[in-house]
Amino acid sequence: MTVRPAALALALLLSFPTLATTPAASAQTLPTVQLALAGINAYDAGDFDQAARCFHIAGRRGNRLAQYNYAIMLARGETSSAEPNPVWRWLRRASLSGLPQAQYAFALLYTNGDGVSRNPRTAAQWYLKAAVQGHAAAQTALAHQLLDGAGVPRDERLAARWFGAAARAGDRDAQRELAQLFETGEGVDQDLAAARYWYDRAARQGDAHARERLRILGGD
């Protein structure tokens, strides 16, 4: 499974004080959120066993960030579990709790057929759940499926809107794809100035195809 490098879900935990790595004997007694943060500290220190232990305990208590982090550690081979298909199980838990990072990663399982049968329809459902929460990569993935008619009815205009949302959030792939739609007039009114603008935005992030299209359109 391809997952963007995790900052291990720090964003929602920054209001809590940094803790020292928690001894295994006391992990069960820590409050759930502090236990999840202790897992992050252990992970950053390279103690994957302790990190997984903390995430597993906090995840079983219902902490969705810990559930996601534990799933990512499993996916990366940084820990193991005797459960059948544990990555799917833990991502599902975090996804059902509404965590957009988990919903996106869960959708990827169905896109790639990783531990489950490929199912574009199910993937689109989970991409949508993450997309409406502002997850740019999920917005881009959903837009691709809408453009291709993969698991959902083909809808060029809706695809353009999702590419637009992700492009404005800074997603390079979405910027390139939106530029291409403006260049061809697919799903939007043809607008070469807009195409050049979005190709330029993508090119500035290192997209070689966008840079070439920008040159051809006379915007370089």
Is residue 13 one of the residues assigned to a domain? yes
Is residue 55 one of the residues assigned to a domain? yes
Is residue 62 one of the residues assigned to a domain? yes
Dihedral sign, Cα of residue 98, residue 99, residue 100, residue 106: negative
For residue 152, report the phi and psi dihedrals to the nearest 5 degrees: -145, 160
The whole-number pLDDT of residue 27 equals 60
| More confident position, 23 or 53 | 53
Task: State the CB neighbour count (10 A cutoff) for residue 123.
Answer: 26
Whether the pLDDT of residue 16 is over 60: the answer is no
Is residue 56 one of the residues assigned to a domain? yes
Is residue 180 one of the residues assigned to a domain? no
Is residue 136 one of the residues assigned to a domain? no
Average pLDDT along the chain: 89
How is residue 213 written in tokens? 């299209």
How is residue 11 written in tokens? 């964003």
What b/e string do you get for 49-69 counting C-beta neighbours within 10 Å, with b at 16 or more? ebbbbbbbbbbeeebbbbbbb
Per DSSP, the chain holds a count of helices (H) and strands (E) of 11, 0
| Alpha-carbon span 92 to 70, nearest angstrom | 12
Give residue 29's domain range.
1-98
- pLDDT, tens only, 33-90: 999 999 999 999 999 999 999 999 999 999 999 999 999 999 999 999 999 999 999 9
- pLDDT, tens only, 180-194: 999 999 999 999 999
Is residue 124 one of the residues assigned to a domain? no
Of the chain, the end-to-end C-alpha distance in Å amounts to 37
The whole-number pLDDT of residue 30 equals 75
- Going by C-alpha positions, the residue among 108, 187, 96, 111 that lies closest to residue 151 is 111
Q: How many domains does the chain have?
A: 1
Entry pTM: 0.85
Whether the pLDDT of residue 20 is over 50: the answer is no
Is residue 77 one of the residues assigned to a domain? yes
